[in-house]
Structure 1
């Protein structure tokens, strides 16, 4: 895959081409979108493909958090079983769990799927204008050094962890606590939420969690200035918006996602549209460019290491064909005391919940039974 500077260099190359191309050069845009960097930038976005009859869409609901509207879906709220919170990855939303939410509810669980602030149909406020909703601000001087967002943006894992914990308290409202099932960067938010509130987040199930390869602690110190310069160029010049515009098309996203999926047949038009429609809403491009500049904050292994597996167990399932978060690197998570089970997923790529939904649903039921007992 190469180092982080190599990947950002490819992005920059794509951006320059996009800025110079006319709006009608669709073929050039499609070629740019097929590069590994375009795929890397959209890691966590993942559409699905039909598996027979399409399941009925769940109704969208809105929860007001810190004056912002947050969209979520729910199923099985009246069930007696444990509560499960599904957390999407970068660029995704609650629709990415289309073959999980209702299916898990039919097994007796109370299931909620949320759009993180800045994604899906949730509000997308300016990154530097979020006030007390910013998790780093709410923590005062506790967050420092490389744990901080380098730009002071409100789109950080502390903000999303606060959002998850407040949602659990106000909407899920289950005195037994909840299990977080998280894909990609959603896993870092779920782990941080568990550390912040160990009574409420009873366990975390990670599906191909993001390894955060652009984090400053992952980089060679000599590479940091160049990486930062490239990130600044993408974020603060028209080149970044040109790049976003180049990849924010149905054809480009479809090509990108087929690279991410080990089960490429699962990519269909319905969910590509479900991802792209909110991705084209006001503010979405700014969130996208802000996040690819997020080279600080917590690393997943730091968070897992601090959890107590007896009180807050962690399960990890990893697609062996994941091109973005390689299985060989993911295997190290099996060695952490908090990780009670590590499950390889042969033939599966970056988004197991969508590529192998029946298997993931089965594992979630097993995890719930381990944490809460039979239901």
Structure 2
């Protein structure tokens, strides 16, 4: 079942809803011809983080942007034994979205943890994924298998903080401090290389869903999730082409640590973006959109492989 209404702020896109396993999933769509493309946001974001990409990509492709379960305008059910906020859950959602909504194999484009979701979907159903573009993929530096690489202080403090966040009084208090306009703006100013891209509109788009019932539980469930796959676990299993774009000014996922991902055989390009931080699609759409369109036209071309 789907409902549809035009987006006043993005006239070339429509906002729609899809029922997945009894939960409402919001997504946006633009374009009616060309290859199918699905955009997957990062942690705490939504399909609105692709508002600068949907119109241009939609001129050349059938492009979709989905709000993952727990984020944006999608349902935020409480986590439990039958529902976990993990890459397996979101990867399954993406695969079923491809089959039930798009109806054709598609290219997946992710940012941050959205990259891991895309890779997981490609591993689950390789015949439904034509290629994966990763924008500043999450390296998951707090993963339990990577903690040995951290400083002594961070190695021992991270489990303690995660335990504290699991105590509802502390966890909920922490979330209320984060879910404020000033806090969100400060976080964005840290993550973005282009500070001028941190606008009131962007802060509002991220704050609004954080005030929904269930948002705190989703946030706390994921920040305590230190298991599951890493990009280096999934990339060797892919047979489709992978493009990597990386902001050189990303303070959260340092490009120096990410360059090793270019060594996997499925990676056809690793392109640094000067002066750009963690969210290239929003900070530098004039760079990202042409690069994605070039890749969609020739996804196996390795002539632009930069390391």
Give the TM-score normalised by structure 1: 0.74
Residue in 2 aligned with 1:118? 70
Residues of 2 paired with 1:57 and 1:272: CA distance?
22
Instruction: Tell whether 2:27 aligns with 1:96.
Output: no
Give 1:156's aligned residue.
86
Q: Is residue 2:192 matched to residue 1:261? A: yes
Deviation for aligned residue 1:224: 6.4
User: 1:216 touches 1:224 (CA, 8 Å); kept in 2?
Assistant: no
CA contact (8 A) 2:14 2:30 kept: no
> How much has 1:219 moved relative to structure 2?
0.9
| CA RMSD, 1 decimal | 1.8
**More off after superposition, 212-221 vs 348-357:** 212-221
Report the equivalent of 2:6: none
SS in 1 for 2:219: helix
248, 262, 278: which one pairs with 1:334?
A: 262
Q: Which runs of 5+ in 2 are unaligned?
A: 1-8, 302-307
Q: Give the distance between the partners of 1:372 and 1:256, measured in 2 at CA.
A: 36
Q: Tell me which structure has the larger Cα radius of gyration.
A: 1
Query: How far apart, in 2, do the equivalents of 1:293 and 1:353 lie?
Result: 27
Q: Distance in 1 between matches of 2:285 and 2:292?
A: 10
CA contact (8 A) 2:192 2:278 kept: yes
1:292 partnered with 2:244: no
Determine helix, strand or coil for the equivalent of 1:245. Answer: helix
Q: In structure 1, what is the Cα distance between the partners aligned to 2:168 and 2:155? A: 20
Instruction: Look up the match of 1:244.
Output: 175
More strand by share: 2
Shift of 1:55: 4.6
Is 1:83 paired with 2:11? Answer: no
SS in 2 for 1:70: strand
Give the counterpart of 2:117 among 175, 189, 203: 189
Q: Do 2:115 and 2:135's aligned partners in 1 also have CA atoms closer than 8 Å?
A: yes
- Report SS of the residue matched to 2:299: helix
Task: Compute the displacement of 1:226 (Å).
Answer: 5.1
2-side partners of 1:66 and 1:104: how far apart? 29
Q: String of CA shifts for 1:273-309, please: whole Å, max 9, x gaps.
A: 111111110000111111110010000111112222x
SS across alignment from 1:364: helix
- Shift of residue 361 of structure 1? 0.9
How many residues end up aligned between the 2 structures? 290
Q: Secondary structure at the match of 2:261?
A: helix
Q: CA deviation at 1:225?
A: 6.7
| Rounded Cα–Cα distance in structure 2 between residues aligned with 1:93 and 1:244 | 18
Range that drifts further, 266-275 or 215-224: 215-224
Task: Give structure 1 stretches of 5+ with no counterpart.
Answer: 1-53, 135-153
Corresponding residue to 1:357 among 266, 281, 285: 285
Q: SS of 2:166's equivalent?
A: helix
Cα shift at 1:325:
0.1
